Amino acid sequence: MHIALFTKNPTLAAELKHALHGAGFGITLTDNFQSLSGVISGQDLLAVDLASVDGKLDAILELADTCGGGVPTFGIAEGTVAAGRINAFRAGFDDCVTEDFPAVEIALRVQALLRRRQTSEQAIVRFADVVLDRVARSVTRAGRSVRLTEREFRTLEYFIRNTGRVISPLELCEQVWKFHFDPDSNVVQVFIMRLRKKIDDEFETKLIHTVPRAGYIMEREGERTIPRGRRTTLVPAEAA
């Protein structure tokens, strides 16, 4: 795990660097707002000494959202009273402590914040503009709610987790639906048609495609991932 630490306080920087290194984190230090956007990129968390922001608090949080792709933010408030922490939470920080907190406790709180973040991200799977929430059992496409049956939900999740790979009817039946595949039945074909009506029909970009004599694949139209040596083409949804 890698953390970007923004502070102009060399004593605080040294203490935090020692504690965070001891907890297994890589640290990138900066005291320059102009270079912060480049520093945040690729980091797992941004820690900010609030006494060093010089009125740029909102701009720093915006950089965390844009340049950092939404990295979690951890504030270190000046002094020992709660007011600084409260202001940090109101501004949008994910967690905050005052500067009198022991550096080792700060390291532990950072670890806990990243664990919570990781658990939350594991509950969400995405592809293109489709978002599937495993906890809420909900699906949206381009922000629009899509109502799915339990089997449709599990099938879509399997497609998303295997984007760009051809999934055969046999694999779908045995790995997702947990029942024997009957090659003489059109149950898979009919099921996929119904799923595509919900996921693709109202949208210009189609995501679920048929690969003749092979199965189905989830990818954006025009993004061919099937090996060239195989003479197969993606078939429009209405052809399946």
CB atoms within 10 A of CB 69: 11
Looking at CATH, the fold of the domain delimited by 125-239 is given as: Arc Repressor Mutant, subunit A (1.10.10)
- Determine the pLDDT at residue 223: 57
CB atoms within 10 A of CB 95: 19
- Determine the pLDDT at residue 87: 86
Start-to-end Cα distance in the chain: 45
| Residues 2-122, CATH architecture | 3-Layer(aba) Sandwich (3.40)
- Determine the pLDDT at residue 24: 83
Is residue 219 over pLDDT 50?
Answer: yes
Cα-Cα-Cα-Cα torsion 84, 89, 93, 94, nearest 10 degrees, comes to: 120
43 backbone dihedrals φ, ψ, rounded to 5°: -90, 160
pTM (two decimals): 0.51
Half-sphere exposure of 224 (CA within 13 A, CB side): 10
Q: Considering the chain, tell me which residue range(s) the CATH 1.10.10.10 domain(s) occupy.
A: 125-239
- Determine the pLDDT at residue 47: 92
Q: How big is the chain by its Cα radius of gyration, in Å? A: 24
- Determine the pLDDT at residue 155: 95
* DSSP 8-state code for residue 205: S
Give the residue from 208, 200, 198 showing the smallest Cα distance to 235: 208
Phi-psi region of 93 (alpha: psi -120 to 50; beta: other; left: phi over 0): beta
Element (H, E) at 162: none
Kindly report, residue by residue over 147-183, the tens digit of the pLDDT: 999 899 999 999 998 998 999 999 999 888 888 888 8
Cα-Cα-Cα-Cα torsion 203, 209, 210, 214, nearest 10 degrees, comes to: -170
Q: Name the pLDDT band for 5 (thresholds 50, 70, 90).
A: very high
Q: Name the pLDDT band for 234 (thresholds 50, 70, 90).
A: very low
CB atoms within 10 A of CB 78: 14
Of the two residues 131 and 238, the one the predictor is more confident about is 131
What distances in angstroms separate CA 67 from CA 2, 7, 45, 64, 106, one per listed residue? 15, 18, 12, 6, 24
Q: Considering the chain, tell me which residue range(s) the CATH 3.40.50.2300 domain(s) occupy.
A: 2-122
Extract the tokens encoding 118. Answer: 């990781």
| Amino acid in the structure at residue 60 | I
Kindly report, residue by residue over 31-75, the tens digit of the pLDDT: 888 888 888 877 888 999 999 998 888 899 888 877 666 788 999
- Beta-bridged to residue 26, according to DSSP, are 2
Q: Name the pLDDT band for 121 (thresholds 50, 70, 90).
A: low
Mean pLDDT, the chain, integer = 84
